[in-house]
Structure 1
Amino acid sequence: MKIMPVIGTRPEAIKLAPVIKELERHPEEFEIVPVMTAQHRQMLDQVLKLFKINSSYDLDIMENNQTLSGLTARIIEKFDPIVRKEKP
């Protein structure tokens, strides 16, 4: 089963890290395809490094003075082709 956790912030990474690590212990059952939106780049990268989580995709969606609707649109725009390719 292919699982695609999507992580954008440090708190999300902290919460999902134990789940991802447990799933990685069962490669015969699960393929993990982590996707980062990187809303909090520096803090997120610190947590990923700490837990040794490598992203399969990094959407790098942040822009200066971005509105919430602009952020949402960029996530959908960049995420859609990944989902179509990976079919989680």
Structure 2
Amino acid sequence: MAKKIMIVFGTRSEAIKLVPLIYKLKQYTQIKLTTCLTAQHRETINQVLIHFNVNPDYDLNIMTKNQPLTDLSIHLLTKMDELLKKIKPDIILVHGDSSTTFIASLAAFYNCIPVGQVEAGLRTFDKL
């Protein structure tokens, strides 16, 4: 059975860094990849998606004009929870430190789904 992996992203920088991973994972027949765009930064992310020919499977379109972060978080948590219950991924992958990353990870935690943080920390240069 194919492993179900969901990649969640919402900002331009997340998209730029995750596109190579999206391309790579799509090559494996033993992986069922789902991509989820939150569009936290709609105005800048579309140009990246067009440039790299990435069409997310789901676009949560969470942003509204002058939306406070608390409203964004509540809206995203609700939509992510619904999507995770529908897709039932084996793991979600996120990148960075945006509200999208935090809330998608929280929703996954609440649904007992492991989270892979692609950029999981700074280099220690073997000093630890």
Cα offsets for 1:36-88 (capped at 9, x unmatched): 11011132111112222111111111112211111111111111111001000
Unaligned 5+ runs, structure 2: 90-128
Q: Matched residues in 1 for 2:20 and 2:70: separation?
A: 31
Structure-1 residue corresponding to 2:11: 9
- RMSD across aligned C-alpha pairs, in angstroms? 1.0
Quote the sequence identity (%). 45
Q: Matched residues in 1 for 2:46 and 2:13: separation?
A: 12
Tell me the matched-pair count.
Answer: 87
The 5-angstrom pairing of residues 13-52 of structure 1 reads: 13-26=15-28, 28-52=29-53
Unaligned 5+ runs, structure 1: none
More helix, by proportion: 1
Residue type of the partner of 1:33?
Answer: T
| Greater RCO, 1 or 2 (C-alpha within 8 Å, sep 6+) | 1
Structure-2 residue corresponding to 1:68: 69
TM-score, with structure 2 as normaliser: 0.65
More strand, by proportion: 2
